[in-house]
Amino acid sequence: MLLIKNGRVIDPASRTDAQLDVLLEGGTIRDVAAGIVARDAAVFDATGLIVAPGFIDLHCHLREPGEEFKETIESGTRAAARGGFTAVCCMPNTKPVNDNAAVTRSIVERAAAVGSVRVWPIGAVTLGSKGEALAEIAAMRRAGIVAVSDDGRPVATAKLLRSAMEFCRELQLTVIDHCEDTSLSAGGVMREGPTSIRMGLHGIPACAESLAVARGVQIAELTGWKFHVAHLSCRESLDLVRRAKQKGVPVSCEVTPHHFTLTDEHIREYDTHFKMNPPLASREDRDALIEGLAEGTVDCIATDHAPHDAASKQVEFDKAPFGITGFETALPLALRELVHPGRISLMRMIELFTTGPARVLGPHVEQSRRIAKGCVADLTLFSTDRDWTFRAADSASKSKNTPFDGEKFRGGPAATIVGGEIAWKA
Amino acid sequence: MKVVEKSQLMSATEIDRTLHRLASEIVERTGGAKDVAFVGIRRRGVPISQRLAAAVAASGGPKIPVGILDITLYRDDLSTVAPQPVVQSSDIPFDVDGRVIILVDDVLYTGRTIRAAMNGLFDLGRPRRIQLCVLIDRGHRELPIEASFVGRNVQTTDTEIIEVRLNEIDHEERVMLVDRVA
Amino acid sequence: MNPGFHDLLGIEPLTAPEIAFLLDQSQPFQEIQRHPLKKLATLRGKTVCLAFFENSTRTRISFTTAASRLGADTMNLQAESSSLKKGESLLDTVRTLDAMKPDCIVMRHASSGAPHFVARHLEIPVINAGDGTHEHPTQALLDALTIRDRRGSLENLRITMIGDILHSRVARSNIHLLGRFGAHFTLCGPPQWVPRELETLAPNVRRVFAIEEALKDADVVMVLRVQTERLHEPALSVEDYILLYQLTPERMKLAPPQAIVMHPGPMIRGLEIDPAVADGPQSCVLEQVTNGLAVRMALLFQVMSIAPPS
């Protein structure tokens, strides 16, 4: 038994924001009330902390199997716990690609053995993510995937996307697309614009993303099934999602912390820690994304945590792989860029990390992602006022490829509780 | 670096008198200054060489050509000179081959400047003879260099500095002995 | 004035006084090219490492000659070298060269930002001899010296650039440099190669797609290399390019008679430029080469004669 005492409970599902205690036992929430007395319980004093439902990261890369030198399920989930995440959805672009039940099972089993938090694998849409034949989606469903994606790449053709959406509708699996028109983006290493011109780097125009979003939105309308835009980064894409939602099309989208924090102008001196796909966009895009986060067009914040070893990133800008880490800086950046300046409320921020991603995955996940009797005992405790500095060297991830080394934050994760057990505390 | 003036070695009048005396010495000891050319070493060697040529012409002697030599590229002590060395053009508008070149500088000290100046001259051709004329010789030679025409010999210690001020560059005219202060 | 140049990674970070200083410092070295004995001992005992990861004949020979005339030795890495073919990373290659203790490294590379990356990892000065499509600072300096000698000053000139501006590092460096002195730029070429974003590089940049209009009132006409390796991109046929953008004597008549013609080289006579213009009295192409030597000598002198920071 674990009693979380004196915390400020903020639960989006019930719109609760009150000083309440939470009692956990056997992996579920036993009671939520003021002044709980529980003699046999271990007590965690949450004075001064926010108590929220456990955060979910809808998009990350754990690199296992195949690239364990960059990250493993063990190190990645440890970093996730330090970031306040109780569940992470790992993308299938491992080696081999997670396109069959055997690989899915191996990930699930490994996570059960050494993971600090829940690992919910996302299966590939096509075999090898090659964009030719559909992967063993149903078999993977049984083995434990929670969604499908060919992330790293877009779903190769509209025809394939349509087939996959219709198939997944029956399996009740959301299709997540890395929206990119590769003919426009080929050779590009950053956002096309005045900055790419000045730096002499090949640019990717914004419409490389929005063209693919337009495709996905129309196929969602055609098939009537859930289409989720991964790492949405520009205002054209946001407008398409907004209009689709207004029409009642089942479209959702996520935004990464680096996209609501940085722009292409932040790329310092060809530092590859600022290179990712989709690339950092313009100031207008960033401002539009923040508005979208506030007004509800954006459903959730997802990190796209993409660890790379130092040697891979210590190369010329155009040769470096795309990606930065993100678990441990997601919540601090959300507080610094969105909540503290008053762009969104604390309640809204918590939605973006909890009920938002849960809804994308499905009603069965959404129902349980709340602080109420009988729900799963996953909680994220965080402070909103502790001053601290993030140091990449202290990160639990094996890789330190982050642009936020040395950044100062006010507030951050304090304790992460998974299934009633403390997975990590500060 | 703080310096304190110890004494004035030459006033404006004394400088003028010395230069006139040097001019006539040069004419006399070169047998009429026929193949002579002056090369003034930047910076203060330049106005001195121009005044010497004017003095020679004024007393009825030949018109001696005057050239300017920048020795920055020939120095052996570049990294100790300044955080950012500045090169200026040399300007030697006559053929160096076969000439008697009189190098002109304000102060002769270690001799390294003159060594560099000679290297610069050799890049331009082959003078028949090189001689040296200085306003002040302060001793402490580090190389086997001697001046044929000397305005004044001054004994100095290692910390002392001879400061030559000329109208063309400093807008005042005198020679001072200064000392470094701790 | 900053206490000495350490690296020269681009023109963009330099101020107008710093640029003027480098041009002034190039003049004594122009003069030295006229001496019977061109070899100095100024940088005797120093070693310049020439790391050309991208092929170049003219720039490499220019830097090699500049170093030797200053008395320095050179270390040469060329693009075809086998270690690069064997897949050695840039960082390892540069560290290996650095272990032989050169006094500075002059680098050309096909990736924009490669010299910046290398400069982060080395203590010795890094001089950018061309990085990807980003900058070619010594080219802009020698172009500016040529313009200043021919036109008397760099202030408020009307510069017309013709060709593949998008992929030209020479264009970018020149725009940064001349922009500091109030230049007005007219960029002319096929629209795919002259995108709108170029207008943000400096104040007073306009794009014009008809060469006749671009040449009116020009003080300087810079013809850029047609990078034939790019013609296969869905761009333009060679015949179309010649028809629309070749600099011919007839077209040059539209420019003022004192306008000068420049080209960074190598030229493809009959493609971007008519031989009569290339060899005509308005052409400064050979002066550019001579000035390139002077500029590079001045730069090597500046960078290697100051004491390294302790």
* pLDDT tens profile C241-256: 999 999 999 999 999 9
Residues C109 and C85 in one domain: yes
- The CA distance from C176 to C115, in Å, is 18
- The CA distance from A322 to A233, in Å, is 15
Which H/E stretch holds residue C213?
helix C211-215
Which runs of consecutive H residues, i.e. helices, occur in C70-210? 82-85, 90-98, 114-121, 137-151, 169-179
HEC string for chain A: CEEEEEEEEEEHHHCEEEEEEEEEECCEEEEEECCCCCCCCEEEECCCCEEEECEEEEEECCCCCCCCCCCCHHHHHHHHHHCCEEEEEECCCCCCCCCCHHHHHHHHHHHHHHCCCEEEEEECCEHHHCCCCECCHHHHHHHCCCEEECCCCCCCCHHHHHHHHHHHHHHCCEEEECCCCHHHHCCCCEECCHHHHHHCCCEECCHHHHHHHHHHHHHHHHHCCCEEECCCCCHHHHHHHHHHHHCCCCEEEEECHHHHHCCHHHCCCCCHHHCCCCCCCCHHHHHHHHHHHHHCCCCEECCCECCCCHHHHCCCHHHCCCCCCCHHHHHHHHHHHHHCCCCCCHHHHHHHHCHHHHHHHCHHHHHHCCCCCCCECCEEEEEEEEEEECCHHHCCCCCCCCCCCCCEEEEEEEEEEECCEEEEEC
Which pLDDT score is estimated for C240? 87
Tell me whether the omega of the peptide bond preceding residue C266 falls within 30 degrees of 0, making it cis: yes
* pLDDT tens profile B136-177: 999 999 999 999 999 999 999 988 999 999 999 999 999 999
How far from chain centre, in Å, is Cα B167?
Answer: 16
Q: What is the gyration radius of the CA atoms in chain B, in angstroms? A: 16
Closest CA to A375 of A23, A99, A105: A23
* pLDDT tens profile C17-58: 999 999 999 999 999 888 888 889 899 889 999 999 988 889
User: Which residues lie across from A88 on neighbouring strands?
Assistant: A57, A119
* A334 part of a folded domain: yes
**Structure tokens that stand for A123 in this block:** 């299966």
B84 touches chain C (CB under 8 A): yes
* A3 part of a folded domain: no
Host domain of residue A295: 50-386+389-409
* B141 part of a folded domain: yes
- The position carrying tokens 């082959």 is B126
- CATH assignment of the domain containing C40: 3.40.50.1370
* A30 part of a folded domain: no
* B169 part of a folded domain: no
What single DSSP character describes residue C110? S
- Per-residue pLDDT at C228 exceeds 90: no
* pLDDT tens profile A332-379: 999 999 999 999 999 999 999 999 999 999 999 999 899 999 999 999
- CATH assignment of the domain containing A275: 3.20.20.140
Q: Which residues of chain A have pLDDT under 70?
A: none
* C7 part of a folded domain: no
pTM of the model: 0.86
B86 touches chain C (CB under 8 A): yes
pLDDT confidence bin for C226, thresholds 50/70/90: confident
Measured between beta carbons, which residues in chain A are less than 8 angstroms from residue C198? 197
Count structural domains, chain B: 1
Which pLDDT score is estimated for C4? 61
Residue C238: how many CB atoms within 10 A of its CB? 12
Of the partner residues C89, C112, C132, the one whose CB lies closest to the CB of residue A315: C89
- The CA distance from A324 to A308, in Å, is 7
pLDDT confidence bin for C234, thresholds 50/70/90: low
Q: How far is A226 from chain C (nearest CA, A)?
A: 37
Q: How far is B109 from chain C (nearest CA, A)?
A: 21
Residues C144 and C247 in one domain: yes
**Which pairing describes strands A2-11 and A16-25: parallel, antiparallel, or unpaired?**
antiparallel
* C75 part of a folded domain: yes
- The CA distance from C37 to C222, in Å, is 34
Residues C154 and C276 in one domain: yes
Residues C130 and C222 in one domain: no
User: Which residues lie across from A8 on neighbouring strands?
Assistant: A19, A50
For chain B, 182 residues long, the average pLDDT of each consecutive 10-residue run is 88 96 95 93 96 94 95 80 80 93 97 94 93 96 96 92 95 93 72
- The CA distance from A71 to A396, in Å, is 10
- The CA distance from A187 to A189, in Å, is 7
Residues C297 and C266 in one domain: no
* A420 part of a folded domain: no
What are the Cα distances from residue A2, in Å, to A20, A34, A74, A271?
14, 15, 24, 45
Q: Which residue of B has its CA nearest to C5?
A: B84
User: Which residues lie across from A251 on neighbouring strands?
Assistant: A227
ipTM confidence score: 0.84
- The CA distance from C243 to C263, in Å, is 19
Residues C199 and C264 in one domain: yes
Q: Do B88 and C28 touch (CB under 8 A)?
A: yes
Q: What are phi and psi of A53, to 5 degrees?
A: -60, 155
- The CA distance from A376 to A25, in Å, is 10
State the average pLDDT for chain C.
Answer: 91
- The CA distance from C118 to C90, in Å, is 8
Chains B and C touch (3+ CB pairs under 8 A): yes
- The CA distance from A64 to A110, in Å, is 9
Count structural domains, chain A: 1
Which pLDDT score is estimated for C290? 95
Count structural domains, chain C: 2
- CATH assignment of the domain containing B147: 3.40.50.2020
Measured between beta carbons, which residues in chain A are less than 8 angstroms from residue C90? 315-316
- Per-residue pLDDT at C5 exceeds 90: no
pLDDT confidence bin for C82, thresholds 50/70/90: low
- The CA distance from C194 to C79, in Å, is 30
Residues C34 and C75 in one domain: yes
A211 contact partners, CB below 8 Å, separation of at least 6: A181, A184
* B116 part of a folded domain: yes
What strands lie across the sheet with C205-208, from one edge to the other? C205-208, C184-188, C158-162, C220-223, C260-262
Which runs of consecutive H residues, i.e. helices, occur in B30-134? 45-58, 78-81, 112-124
pLDDT confidence bin for C232, thresholds 50/70/90: very low
Residue A228: how many CB atoms within 10 A of its CB? 27
Host domain of residue B61: 11-76+88-156
Q: Do A200 and C131 touch (CB under 8 A)?
A: yes
Which pLDDT score is estimated for C231? 46
Tell me whether the omega of the peptide bond preceding residue A96 falls within 30 degrees of 0, making it cis: yes
Q: Do C37 and B78 touch (CB under 8 A)?
A: no
Q: Compare C226 and B117 and report the one with higher pLDDT.
A: B117
Residue C59: how many CB atoms within 10 A of its CB? 23
Long-range Cβ pairs for the range C118-121 (8 Å, 24+): C118/C90, C118/C91, C118/C94, C119/C7, C119/C9, C120/A269, C121/C91, C121/C94, C121/C95
Measured between beta carbons, which residues in chain C are less than 8 angstroms from residue A315? 89-91, 117
Host domain of residue C122: 16-135+289-305
User: Which residues lie across from A416 on neighbouring strands?
Assistant: A380, A424
* Strands (E) located in C176-276: 184-188, 205-208, 220-223, 260-262
- The CA distance from B140 to B137, in Å, is 9
Q: Which residue of B has its CA nearest to C24?
A: B88
What single DSSP character describes residue C22? H
* A294 part of a folded domain: yes
B93 touches chain C (CB under 8 A): no
Contact B157, B127 (CB under 8 A): no
pLDDT confidence bin for C310, thresholds 50/70/90: very low
- The CA distance from A139 to C149, in Å, is 76
The arithmetic mean of pLDDT across residues C229-243, rounded, is 71
C157 contact partners, CB below 8 Å, separation of at least 6: C147, C151, C178, C181, C182, C183, C184, C219, C220
Contact C26, C141 (CB under 8 A): yes
* A395 part of a folded domain: yes
C117 touches chain A (CB under 8 A): yes
- Interface of A to C at Cβ within 8 Å reads 192-194, 196-201, 269-270, 311, 314-319
- The CA distance from A298 to A224, in Å, is 20
- The position carrying tokens 């993303």 is A209
Residues C119 and C178 in one domain: no
Q: How far is C54 from chain A (nearest CA, A)?
A: 14
* B171 part of a folded domain: no
Residue C84: how many CB atoms within 10 A of its CB? 15
Q: Which residues of A are catalytic?
A: 304
